[in-house]
Chains A and B, each alone.
Chain A
């Protein structure tokens, strides 16, 4: 499904170069549910962006569904994103001017589906996340959890083979976080590959596999050790997080 080999990504600013990913290699199989963890600034979002074709990378190779994506044009990348990849953002990113129905409609529009088809997909996606009754609410009229579910519906509506979620539970309470997780598991069971970034060890444990990123590299494959991770998360906002990561 996804195969990254020796990927590196460097951000250049006037002052410094940041090696957000260095020699990063990862394979994710069809139907897997992978949780990505790591201290703040370690490169998780960068990895997700590269995986989701939102950003390019500097070296290495990346195959998605067996196809090399490093040489694709912007147009082709957009198409892949639209058809194969679904995104769930930490801060929902619903479009404030559009109601929920139209928000879910956005990716379908870009896929040029017929009106009837779109309508059906939107309604069933909203059904799945339990928002059928709020179809014509504006985002600002929903709670945080509802907004996140609407965003999930938007990601699902296009039937992606591959769902990328960057801290989907970061902005909702723990009860809601568990519900979101239930939803993702349910989607995964229907065959969608999911990669999820999270800081919540409990949620991370529910995935098939954990990938721990430290300083732009995969540090180790190992199940979560809750205590250590909680400490790491606690100091993640400290002045020198790198020294505190359990290696």
Chain B
């Protein structure tokens, strides 16, 4: 203990406390912000990087809007699908009612028993209408059962009807039949108590709204989307997405004057759009927190440098009476560490308070204490690094300044 000189350093600090307190407050704010920011960013990054269950890297969506009064929707989608499937590099193509992960879609409630009135027992699902190549075009994996057969695909209706067969995700089946590990072949019911048979089970797939907790509840029906607007999902062979997209533009672009080819877009466009706010929040938090810590570090650095430059004579005197270079470095580091630690103590309370406030006010999950520990260590390290150079400079001061400096 003697070597660390804690008490005299502390009492000298206390005598010039205003400056030290200001730095401590910066550190406290820095810690509170750092811990919570990292926690929020972690959640966002986890959210963005969840597996989608689909072959998103190779998927392309095409939107066609028929508008002419004499537009023949039925002929149009048949022709389009045939054209798409004939393009070299296309693995599969299907008509689809909505674009997964796009923030637009359709959902309905389903029940395990007909006529169920308990709203708690209604299981919501993201619903999509696809054709026989839909499973392939989405690139999803079936853990049981099969894809739809061509003869099972029902024609479009003007009334949003579903179908009596469905392929559902494991998660959806689990919510519907919590006690049954093998839902294949089982029957569930829509809001009007019409029966639906499960013919396939999807290992995992994401639906429409990325912030919805039922994102992985997906139900696929064998039916063609209602016209006169069509959406096609196309899965290209790996590495051929760009070429296929160009080919689609060329083939479908002006094939029919009664409709407008709205766009041909890669799946990544929609995912990016959906997670834009989360991604931007993460970018924001990271950059503002980074700059904030840099400012704090510069503050520590500036104050330490300034302290060194105003204490040159005192340092010389210490050297003259026998302090080694290491002693001087240690003196400044210890002094700085005390300030940092004072800030860290206040900052811990601040971090917990902010975390609590966020969890109450904005329904964010409660702050994990590991993050606090990590934050404290990080702040200590930043403090040490910021004070290191000034401390080194102090130790290079010649002991002769004791006799020379006026």
Contact = CB atoms under 8 A, between A and B. Distances in A.
B5 interface: yes
A74 B404 CA distance: 19
Contacts of B321: 81-82, 86-87, 106-107, 110, 154-155, 158
A75 B324 contact: yes
Given A93-B313, A114-B2, A79 B322 contact: yes
A74 B325 contact: yes
Interface footprint category on A: 35 or more
B399 A81 contact: yes
B403 interface: yes
B12 interface: yes
Contacts of A79: 322, 324
B192 interface: no
B12 A97 contact: yes
Contacts of B8: 98, 102, 105-106, 109
Contacts of A91: 406
Contacts, number: 100
B298 interface: no
B217 interface: no
Given A91-B406, A98-B11, A105-B8, A54 B322 contact: no
A111 B313 CA distance: 21
B110 to A, nearest CB: 75
B55 interface: no
Contact of A54 (B2, B323, B398, B406): B398
Interface in A2-53: 45, 48-49, 52-53
Interface in B35-73: none
A118 B322 CA distance: 15
B197 interface: no
Contact of B325 (A49, A75, A89): A75
B361 interface: no
B108 interface: no
B237 interface: no
A166 B320 CA distance: 13
Interface in B283-319: 313-314, 316-319
B403 A49 contact: yes
Interface string B208-219: 000000000000
B325 to A, nearest CB: 6
B15 interface: yes
Interface in A83-103: 83, 85-87, 89-91, 93, 95-99, 102
Interface in B175-215: none
Interface of B: 2-3, 5, 8, 11-12, 15-16, 313-314, 316-327, 398-400, 402-404, 406
17 contacts: A45-B403, A54-B320, A54-B402, A78-B327, A81-B320, A85-B322, A91-B406, A95-B314, A97-B12, A98-B8, A102-B12, A106-B8, A107-B322, A110-B318, A110-B323, A113-B2, A154-B321
